[in-house]
Amino acid sequence: MTSEHSATALTLKHQPAAATLVAALEHAWQQIRHRHPDLPAVQIVIGQGSGHRGGLLLGQLAPERWQPTGPGELVHELLVGGEGLARGPVDVFTTLLHEAAHALALTRQIADTSRDGRYHNQRYRQLAHELGLDVQRDAQLGFSTTSLTALTQARYQPAISAIADAITLHRRPEPPATAGRNLSVAVCACPRRIRVAQGTLRAGPITCEICQQPFTARPDVGERPAR
């Protein structure tokens, strides 16, 4: 264990789990900034990474989301998905570097993505290489698949080790959406079909405007999720 890692671990050991983790991530960000001085400061938060339309969110940089209480510039937000912590410290540090490339693009006013930030172009690839990432091309998202080179992992090993010590919890993925799970199929005399909560049916008749007959539950269909 290096003296730098020992000092960081000693500072963090008596803090609550979330505070310890954020402190370790902030320390790692400072180490990256030390090598790349034009990398901006960020406000790091741990948040929900599952339940998004694009799948699991490992990290996301949101420009100028934090306002200083006094004079000063707006600060970018860097969200680290709590579910992604289960992947381990190397992958979490990779997420920091991945988002650092986006932060450099903001500072240098480089358009590094398109398609609402999903497609990573050649300019992003160059920035990621500059930060020490290996970049592979995804057919749908461009140069978005990143990993640490052996040299980069060795260079930042004290920061990675501090993150490893700080990961004592990870967020459980959100359960699948349950919308429509408690809805029953009801039919009228036409017959037309609707999906409706059983409590709504019990509260009073729902009349079809075409056949003027009430909708009644279809017990043979059962309760299935709405498509």
Q: What pLDDT shows up at residue 7?
A: 52
Residue-wise pLDDT tens digits, 132-154: 999 999 999 999 999 999 999 99
Residues of the chain with pLDDT > 90, as a percent, come to 61
The mean pLDDT of the chain is 86
Residue-wise pLDDT tens digits, 86-106: 999 999 999 999 999 999 999
Q: What pLDDT shows up at residue 220?
A: 38
pLDDT band at 123 (very low <50, low <70, confident <90, very high): very high
Could you give the CA distance from residue 126 to residue 61 in angstroms, rounded to a whole number? Answer: 18
Q: What pLDDT shows up at residue 98?
A: 98
CB 94 within 8 A of CB 146: yes
User: Between residues 108 and 179, which one has the greater pLDDT?
Assistant: 108
Could you give the CA distance from residue 147 to residue 160 in angstroms, rounded to a whole number? Answer: 14
Largest CA distance in the chain: 81
Q: What pLDDT shows up at residue 175?
A: 78
Q: What pLDDT shows up at residue 9?
A: 54
29-45 average pLDDT score: 98
Q: What pLDDT shows up at residue 225?
A: 30
Enter the tokens of residue 39.
């990398």
pLDDT band at 1 (very low <50, low <70, confident <90, very high): low
User: Between residues 63 and 190, which one has the greater pLDDT?
Assistant: 63
Q: What pLDDT shows up at residue 221?
A: 34
pLDDT at 73 over 50: yes
Q: What pLDDT shows up at residue 14?
A: 52
43-55 average pLDDT score: 84
Closest to 145 in 3D by CA, of 157, 128, 123, 127: 128
Residues of the chain with pLDDT > 70, as a percent, come to 85
pLDDT at 191 over 70: yes
Residue-wise pLDDT tens digits, 103-112: 999 999 999 9
pLDDT at 120 over 80: yes
Which of these ranges, 70-79, 120-129, 151-160, 206-215, has the smallest mean pLDDT? 206-215
Cα–Cα separations (whole angstroms), residue 75 to 66, 72, 90, 92, 183: 5, 9, 26, 21, 45
